[in-house]
Amino acid sequence: MGKLLIVGTVAFDAIETPFGKTDKILGGAATFIGLAASQFNLESAIVSVVGEDFPQEYLDLLTRKNIDLTGLQVIKGGKTFFWSGKYHNDLNSRDTLSTELNVLADFEPIVPENFKDADVVMLGNLHPSTQMSVINQMQERPKLIVLDTMNFWMDNALEELMEVIKHIDVITINDEEARQLTNEYSLVKAAEKIQQMGPKFVVIKKGEHGALLFHKSKVFFAPALPLKEVFDPTGAGDTFAGGFTGYLTESKNASFSNLKRAVIHGSNLASFCVEKFGTERMTDLNKKEVNNRLIQFRELTQFDIELQ
């Protein structure tokens, strides 16, 4: 069975959308990645940090999903990373209301011994030096290293980001971030430039407008499933990353056609994530629902045209 190592935040989120608001609920990049990846046949572990205030029920939930928590540090007397945000009416943009780093401020990741030979490493959004530290702790070069990042690190730790980018195989990044990183408006040109920085594959996430996969001169596009209601977009990008890396860990194949499938699996799982607040929808998701929606994805995109 393939091993997936997940690095990222485990957090409290408080979310406000046009449809309602939550108190502190379970959130964090590694959480969403782990829950999505748990849909696949694999061994996974989370490397992260929480405070003493982190509820046992959340730990139990992750353990029930077969996620190894040996690498999840619980800091005595510490407080868990907290983010709160408010989405605008169209749900495409949001304001961050508060960010309390808490125990994340001094986080030094420790990769568990039995995951130092992981096949796939998913570096969720974190300081690029933390991401680099995880790569350095691996026994041997993993078959696939996937990195997610955001504009915050381009603004505040560009040099470290450029360094870690050299060592990865796939980057997942949103459209505006791809433009910021490369100074190119065209996503085709941006993806070319990013490939020159290191990663062989570039995934550009466009939210409700889908995701693009680039590799050399090849490009693949997966739409987001058109939904009647998008309830809460929080975690959609991380859920995508979890579906993407979960599938690749299970299938052990890093060909372009397999990465295409991984993009579809990621988009498919993300379409569930946004249907309820936080991790709620991902927690109770079953195989049959996932498969039925894959059929919808097929119907949404597949056509046959004879060329003359």
User: Interface with a copy of itself by CB under 8 A: which residues?
Assistant: 89-90, 185-189, 206, 209-210, 212, 218-221, 223, 226-230, 257, 260-261, 264-265, 287, 291, 294-295, 297-305, 307-308
Q: How far apart are CA 189 and CA 206, in angstroms?
A: 16
CB of 66 to a copy of itself, least distance (A): 17
CB of 221 to a copy of itself, least distance (A): 4
- Toward a copy of itself, which CB reaches closer, 277 or 297? 297
CB of 113 to a copy of itself, least distance (A): 32
Q: How far apart are CA 45 and CA 30, in angstroms?
A: 10
- Toward a copy of itself, which CB reaches closer, 143 or 206? 206
Are the CB atoms for 145 and 201 separated by under 8 Å?
no
Q: Hey, how many other C-beta atoms are within 10 angstroms of the C-beta on 32?
A: 31
- Toward a copy of itself, which CB reaches closer, 140 or 299? 299
CB of 140 to a copy of itself, least distance (A): 30
Q: How far apart are CA 273 and CA 184, in angstroms?
A: 31
CB of 189 to a copy of itself, least distance (A): 6
Structure tokens at 300: 């949404």
Torsion, Cα 218 223 224 228, to 10 degrees, reads 180
- Toward a copy of itself, which CB reaches closer, 76 or 287? 287
DSSP per position, 76-98: TT----EEEEEE-TTSS-EEEEE
CB of 191 to a copy of itself, least distance (A): 8
- Toward a copy of itself, which CB reaches closer, 6 or 191? 191
Task: Calculate the alpha carbon distances from 208 to 165, 225, 227, 289 in Å.
Answer: 26, 8, 9, 20
Q: How far apart are CA 105 and CA 6, in angstroms?
A: 19
Residue whose structure tokens are 């490397």 = 47
- Toward a copy of itself, which CB reaches closer, 130 or 268? 268
Structure tokens at 124: 């969720």
